[in-house]
């Protein structure tokens, strides 16, 4: 039986080790031709770890090449995409996985480390999306997977830089999906938890045995497929998959004379009532919700 991925080309960044390696292997097993991207070695070529993943894919009958572009360098990413197009003529899937850590409490964090983490995670993802965007628009088809984190969604001590970068993925996803919708581009975000080099010493052996990178990658294959959702955050860990929603309560109208801190405090429980919460599609939809709630409240007061 022919796989839907046969003939498709996937770029996976940060694919030499950990989650990226597993994503690349999973997409290759599904039938895609895979670009294994990771930071270049001293000679400018993809390092030995990326080449080893390529060899692993080829040994299993798959098709893959290694690319050493630094995702934080827009020119390097553009050059990588040009080489992929020259080789295979199309790019169907982009999995933004590349990342680094520079953990330290915010009081002790050097701003250079803050900027470096954002440059790799957030700007690096934007660089890659921008480089493939016109290709996907012209094809009328594309699948983009961004990578957020529980640190970005829920917070984690010592990771203000990482958390900020990872939360930025949500805004990038929502806007790119709006702009890519009519071109057949679907943009989604993965929130993985896996035992990798980034979690060494943080997990019990029992938990680490379940939280394998391989248990996350099926979510990436789904988001890269024809069945991909839109503008969705999928949590994945230990073979468990969830959907993470950003929701907003209906809100409480406070009249002009009733907007003091004491008034907010008195209304805060009602303002926070999750029974009224729902997803908001766009920023303009939020504005419509605000005005609608205000108009209904004014009608009661009138």
Specify the CATH number for the domain of residue 137.
3.40.50.720
Tell me how many domains the chain contains: 2
Domain span at 91: 9-244
pLDDT at 201: 77
Q: Within a domain: residue 3? A: no
Going through the chain in order, the beta strands assigned E by DSSP cover: 9-12, 33-37, 64-67, 93-95, 142-147, 185-192, 233-237, 240-244, 247-248, 278-279
Question: What's the chain's average pLDDT?
Answer: 95
> Does residue 278 sit in the same domain as residue 175?
no
Task: Quickly tell me which residue has 């957030």 as its tokens.
Answer: 122
> Does residue 295 sit in the same domain as residue 206?
no
Instruction: Give, for all 302 residues of the chain, the pLDDT tens digit.
Output: 568 999 999 999 999 999 999 999 999 999 999 999 999 766 667 789 999 999 999 999 999 999 999 999 999 999 999 999 999 999 999 999 999 999 999 999 999 999 999 999 999 999 999 999 999 999 999 999 999 999 999 999 999 999 999 999 999 999 999 999 999 999 999 999 998 766 777 788 899 899 999 999 999 999 999 999 999 999 999 999 999 999 999 999 999 999 999 999 999 999 999 999 999 999 999 999 999 999 999 887 66
Residue 241: how many CA atoms within 13 Å on its side-chain side? 16
Catalytic (active-site) positions: 162
Report pLDDT digits (tens) over 184-212. 999 999 999 998 766 777 788 899 899 99
> Does residue 173 sit in the same domain as residue 288?
no
**Separation in Å, CA 44 to CA 49, 54, 124:** 14, 17, 18
Q: Within a domain: residue 252? A: yes
Q: Within a domain: residue 4? A: no
């Amino acid at each position: 039986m022919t796989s839907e991925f046969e003939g498709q080309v996937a770029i996976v960044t940060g694919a030499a080790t950990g989650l990226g390696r597993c994503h690349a292997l999973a997409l290759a097993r599904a039938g895609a031709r895979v670009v294994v991207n990771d930071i270049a070695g001293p000679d400018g070529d993809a390092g030995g770890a990326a080449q080893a993943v390529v060899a692993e894919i080829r040994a299993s009958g798959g098709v893959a090449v290694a690319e050493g572009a630094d995702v934080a360098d827009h020119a390097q990413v553009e050059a990588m995409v040009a080489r992929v197009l020259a080789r295979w003529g199309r790019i169907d899937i982009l999995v933004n996985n590349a990342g680094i850590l520079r953990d330290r409490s915010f009081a002790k964090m050097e701003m250079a480390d803050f900027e470096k983490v954002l440059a790799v995670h957030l700007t690096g993802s934007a660089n890659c999306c921008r480089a493939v965007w016109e290709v996907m628009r012209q094809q009328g088809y594309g699948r983009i997977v961004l990578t957020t984190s529980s640190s970005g969604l829920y917070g984690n001590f010592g990771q203000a830089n990482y958390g900020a970068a990872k939360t930025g993925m949500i805004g990038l996803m929502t806007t790119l999906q709006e702009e890519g919708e009519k071109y057949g581009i679907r943009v989604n975000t993965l929130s993985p938890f896996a035992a990798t080099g980034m979690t060494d010493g943080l997990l019990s052996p029992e938990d680490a045995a379940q939280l394998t990178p391989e248990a996350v990658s099926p979510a990436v294959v789904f988001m890269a497929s024809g069945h991909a959702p839109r503008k969705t955050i999928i949590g994945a860990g230990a073979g468990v998959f969830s959907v993470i929603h950003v929701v907003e309560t209906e809100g409480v109208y406070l009249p002009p004379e009733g907007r003091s801190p004491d008034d907010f405090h008195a209304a805060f429980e009602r303002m926070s009532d999750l029974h009224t919460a729902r997803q908001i599609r766009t920023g303009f939809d939020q504005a419509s919700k605000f005005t609608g709630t205000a108009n209904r409240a004014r009608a009661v007061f009138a």
